[in-house]
Chains A and B, each alone.
Chain A
């Protein structure tokens, strides 16, 4: 309903402005020229497991948009490239999309390192990237819309839940050794200390990628947890290292009701095809769960399983982020009456679209969006059972309020036109200022 209304407005606006403004980088052509949507997700290599799903999501969204008559009366066309889980290749493929394919928007990237790798390309070419994955924050680019969760939309609420609802007093912050866990844990440590948790009650540890021998760590966690205070593990363990970790927990008989593990990167897709028995009862914090019961979600899942022609395929949080991202972009294009990046970027802040699980996603001036937060317990069937959720949506915060450096930094692309404005010196500095 809302969408149709927006379309109407957009059509009227377009008629009034005489469809002017279309131009810039994208080839101004006849009405039949397709609008090009770039898809920058790994279809091979280690990240293929997660990213292929996101490519399919965008293809589904494009198909649906075309079924509705396209965008601005033009058909939408997806341009898919494969950066093959190779970070430098991400930058190359992004350049290819922007410079030779002349796409109007790109949906892509998963890991933070791939995003960091394409960032200069997007800023140089004035492209537009929708990034759908929860990440460590501390960034706001003019050319990126972050539809995944910032730390205050995932990590902080998860810790709040454990502290207030479960009564956790001792914390193990267990992560894989790279930028996302390190930044997230830095924020969480500062937050926990601010909440009055003593140094002795926080144990931070990092293990290498693909770590498979968890005996020592799990034994240490067990010992750390036997000090008489309720203990929880906040896990930013990445990818393949998760299964041996949960397996070792189960083997050493550390059960979820003694020491729950809350994970930020274990979702439905990762659990599908796994023997979930050792994970049952452990927690995950996301902004979307497939099990959330809402009409929009049911419809989305039905569309998705039909599109991939597999009734068992799961949906997950980054997929919803792409769903939201695509809808937001389509609306902004309708509103701007053009796919020109500057016009769309000007139209995006304030644009709203409903979430699949209820509530409204709104683009904020800092290029993040509002999201609800859910905590789910893993069930034996690989799904999550929501045990807690925020009352309202949480606005994404680009610069964490709990780190001294970023406390004084602000991102605002509407008023300040700056991604990292220092509120003390009143200077916009560093990345992507104009």
Chain B
């Protein structure tokens, strides 16, 4: 299942039956249903030969009622399912939450399907009561039992109550956090039950948070004081809200918390929380900046070679990135069953496609225009329009969907106040790897030596037997190829459409000019610092004004330092 694991996150696909619901049956209202409906459900459910039990039949009948029910009815059915205490409840509810519960068209029976991957030609049906494989059916014969937000919220809480006592500590942790968000009596009961037997320290910590929050309403001031002190510095937003509520004044001028000492402790605890939050928010801003910076570096490295080393103003740079992005899309189309590795395959493919396009552009257009920057600018701008129209004709003007592999979605969570999304983490790493590779190519390979020789002194290089024309083509191809590789990364961040390149062309020129033309390290430092400055400004100035401020600052900087952060020195620089 290579779909984004957003809703599946944390709920786990586990088929654990350890969670039993016996003894909780009385809590849920049920039985508001007309008898004929139940009867109809019973008739529709055919018993599965091997594992037919009376309990299972009733359960199947109840699951069968999901067919044709509206959202409120579905919630009532779910409540009644939970009340049965049947072992399959959690799996059925999880299937409903994950869109894996289907109604068969010809007999209106309801089944769990093993995988609802859209590319499958047949879905494997599972018996809802036993999860035994029944048969397969074509997706056209099945109708999905749909959910809405309210129902999903209900299901999430219901499943979390099961999962809170599951075998996997990570699943338990997610479940307890879920319950912590809605601390009603039922959830507190579950948590209290777990408190005594929980062995995992992280889960126990969260349960303690929940029970301490409950203790804030205790009649005994000492208990309340202890609870506040336990909660001091805890980053869960529920804690902050409850403590803030304690010290807030009520309508009649008093405080929600009558005891002075408890209030003082709460103020202290809040201060602790706020100062920790502030530290993490600075770390977060810097992390966002590095992430934006790495995107800027990625889109600018290719340009640093074509513009920085060769001096070609390549307006089609963005479209070369677009080619890389579309290559990713095509690669995914070719290997729909291996989305996870498709991105890794797309990297060399995009390099090859964009690189060959680059060599072609150099051979057919740019080589006639060396030393005429204005004409180069216009010609490459023309090329960019041609490329855009080309993808419009081939792929249509609509954006294309590039699927995010499961390993790139979700968040890397440090604590309640600070987490990073995986796609950004990978892109930072990817940018650094690409940067290191380009540096290595320029420094340690024959091609790199030639490139440096030609860019420093073309006439001398030619005199030494370097085939400068070929080197020009290869250099441009290298720059274009890297642009294509950047395009692969962009598919994970933005739309893959004909306009993809335009939105990044200005940024990439900005980075190269700021970092210093002809200096790769300048591109790295320039990109990263522009990213961080942008992100530092955004919370105060807003995205629009922030961008303007950065541009103005950049113009002023270029006025003072026309050659950028790391100007080239030496004789070669003076010639240009």
Neighbour of A212 across the interface among B6, B240, B397, B493, CB < 8 A: B493
Report the separation of the CA atoms of residues A46 and B547 in the bound assembly, to the nearest whole angstrom: 22
Interface bin, chain B: 35 or more
- Which residues of B does A touch, CB under 8 Å? 3-4, 6-7, 9, 71, 99, 144, 146, 148-150, 152-153, 156, 237-238, 240-242, 245, 284-285, 288, 291-292, 295, 397-404, 409-411, 419, 421-424, 493-495, 497, 499, 503, 535, 538-539, 542-544, 547
Sorted nearest first, the 3 A-B pairs with minimum C-beta distance are A228-B241, A226-B237, A251-B421
Neighbour of B146 across the interface among A48, A210, A278, A379, CB < 8 A: A379
23 A-B pairs whose Cβ atoms sit less than 8 Å apart in the complex: A206-B544, A208-B543, A212-B494, A213-B493, A215-B292, A215-B421, A216-B288, A216-B539, A228-B238, A228-B241, A240-B399, A240-B495, A243-B399, A243-B495, A251-B421, A252-B411, A257-B156, A274-B399, A277-B6, A379-B146, A380-B144, A385-B146, A385-B148
Residue of B at shortest CB range from A248?
Answer: B421
Report the separation of the CA atoms of residues A206 and B400 in the bound assembly, to the nearest whole angstrom: 26
Task: State whether B99 touches A273 (Cβ < 8 A).
Answer: no
Q: Is A137 an interface residue (CB 8 A)?
A: no
Q: Which of B6, B398, B497 has the most CB of A within 10 A?
A: B6
Report the separation of the CA atoms of residues A49 and B400 in the bound assembly, to the nearest whole angstrom: 12
The verdict on A277 contacting B499 (CB below 8 Å), with A219-B288, A385-B148 known, is no
Task: State whether B424 touches A256 (Cβ < 8 A).
Answer: no
**B421 proximity list for chain A (CB < 8 A):** 215, 248, 251-252
**B152 proximity list for chain A (CB < 8 A):** 256-257, 281
Q: State how many angstroms separate the Cβ of A234 from the closest Cβ of chain B.
A: 16
Residue of A at shortest CB range from B291?
Answer: A215
Q: Is A177 an interface residue (CB 8 A)?
A: yes
**B400 proximity list for chain A (CB < 8 A):** 273
Task: State whether A177 touches B544 (Cβ < 8 A).
Answer: yes
Q: Is A280 an interface residue (CB 8 A)?
A: yes
The verdict on A253 contacting B410 (CB below 8 Å), with A49-B398, A217-B543 known, is yes
Task: State whether A244 touches B424 (Cβ < 8 A).
Answer: no
The verdict on A212 contacting B4 (CB below 8 Å), with A243-B399, A251-B409, A387-B148 known, is no
Q: Is A205 an interface residue (CB 8 A)?
A: yes
Interface mask (A208-229 → B, CB under 8 Å = 1, otherwise 0): 1011110111011000001110
Q: State how many angstroms separate the Cβ of A236 from the closest Cβ of chain B.
A: 14
Q: Is A294 an interface residue (CB 8 A)?
A: no
**B494 proximity list for chain A (CB < 8 A):** 212, 240, 243-244
Residue of A at shortest CB range from B4?
Answer: A277
Interface residues contributed by chain A, number (CB under 8 Å): 47
**B499 proximity list for chain A (CB < 8 A):** 46, 210, 240
The verdict on A278 contacting B403 (CB below 8 Å), with A216-B538, A257-B149 known, is no
Task: State whether B542 touches A206 (Cβ < 8 A).
Answer: yes
20 other contacts beyond A216-B285, A251-B423, A257-B149, with CB at 8 A cut-off?
A49-B399, A208-B547, A212-B494, A212-B503, A213-B295, A215-B292, A216-B539, A228-B241, A228-B242, A240-B495, A240-B497, A247-B404, A247-B493, A250-B6, A251-B410, A252-B419, A253-B6, A255-B7, A281-B149, A385-B148
Report the separation of the CA atoms of residues A387 and B70 in the bound assembly, to the nearest whole angstrom: 10
Residue of B at shortest CB range from A165?
Answer: B150
**A243 proximity list for chain B (CB < 8 A):** 399, 494-495
**A273 proximity list for chain B (CB < 8 A):** 398-401
Q: State how many angstroms separate the Cβ of A45 from the closest Cβ of chain B.
A: 9
Q: Is A377 an interface residue (CB 8 A)?
A: yes
Task: State whether A278 touches B493 (Cβ < 8 A).
Answer: no
Task: State whether A257 touches B153 (Cβ < 8 A).
Answer: yes
Report the separation of the CA atoms of residues A429 and B238 in the bound assembly, to the nearest whole angstrom: 54
Report the separation of the CA atoms of residues A387 and B151 in the bound assembly, to the nearest whole angstrom: 12
Q: Is A127 an interface residue (CB 8 A)?
A: no
Q: Is A207 an interface residue (CB 8 A)?
A: yes
Residue of B at shortest CB range from A220?
Answer: B539
Task: State whether A272 touches B398 (Cβ < 8 A).
Answer: yes
Report the separation of the CA atoms of residues A336 and B495 in the bound assembly, to the nearest whole angstrom: 48
The verdict on A216 contacting B542 (CB below 8 Å), with A243-B495, A244-B493 known, is no
Question: Which chain A residues in 46-85 approach chain B with CB under 8 Å?
Answer: 46, 48-49, 52
Q: State how many angstroms separate the Cβ of A378 from the closest Cβ of chain B.
A: 10
Report the separation of the CA atoms of residues A380 and B497 in the bound assembly, to the nearest whole angstrom: 22
Report the separation of the CA atoms of residues A226 and B244 in the bound assembly, to the nearest whole angstrom: 13
Report the separation of the CA atoms of residues A206 and B543 in the bound assembly, to the nearest whole angstrom: 7
Question: Which chain A residues in 378-408 approach chain B with CB under 8 Å?
Answer: 379-380, 385, 387
Q: State how many angstroms separate the Cβ of B148 from the closest Cβ of chain A.
A: 5
Residue of B at shortest CB range from A205?
Answer: B542
Residue of B at shortest CB range from A217?
Answer: B543
**B538 proximity list for chain A (CB < 8 A):** 216-217
Q: Is A275 an interface residue (CB 8 A)?
A: yes
Residue of A at shortest CB range from B503?
Answer: A210
Report the separation of the CA atoms of residues A337 and B150 in the bound assembly, to the nearest whole angstrom: 53
Report the separation of the CA atoms of residues A255 and B148 in the bound assembly, to the nearest whole angstrom: 12
**A365 proximity list for chain B (CB < 8 A):** none
Q: State how many angstroms separate the Cβ of A208 from the closest Cβ of chain B.
A: 5
**A151 proximity list for chain B (CB < 8 A):** none
Report the separation of the CA atoms of residues A380 and B99 in the bound assembly, to the nearest whole angstrom: 9
Interface mask (A280-312 → B, CB under 8 Å = 1, otherwise 0): 110000000000000000000000000000000
Residue of B at shortest CB range from A273?
Answer: B398
Report the separation of the CA atoms of residues A303 and B421 in the bound assembly, to the nearest whole angstrom: 45
**A48 proximity list for chain B (CB < 8 A):** 397
Task: State whether B403 touches A211 (Cβ < 8 A).
Answer: no
Task: State whether B285 touches A208 (Cβ < 8 A).
Answer: no
Report the separation of the CA atoms of residues A272 and B398 in the bound assembly, to the nearest whole angstrom: 9
Q: State how many angstroms separate the Cβ of A91 from the closest Cβ of chain B.
A: 23
Q: Is A260 an interface residue (CB 8 A)?
A: yes
Q: State how many angstroms separate the Cβ of B93 from the closest Cβ of chain A.
A: 15
Residue of B at shortest CB range from A212?
Answer: B494
Report the separation of the CA atoms of residues A387 and B439 in the bound assembly, to the nearest whole angstrom: 56
Q: State how many angstroms separate the Cβ of A44 from the closest Cβ of chain B.
A: 8
The verdict on A281 contacting B148 (CB below 8 Å), with A205-B542, A208-B547, A274-B401 known, is yes
Q: State how many angstroms separate the Cβ of A268 from the closest Cβ of chain B.
A: 13
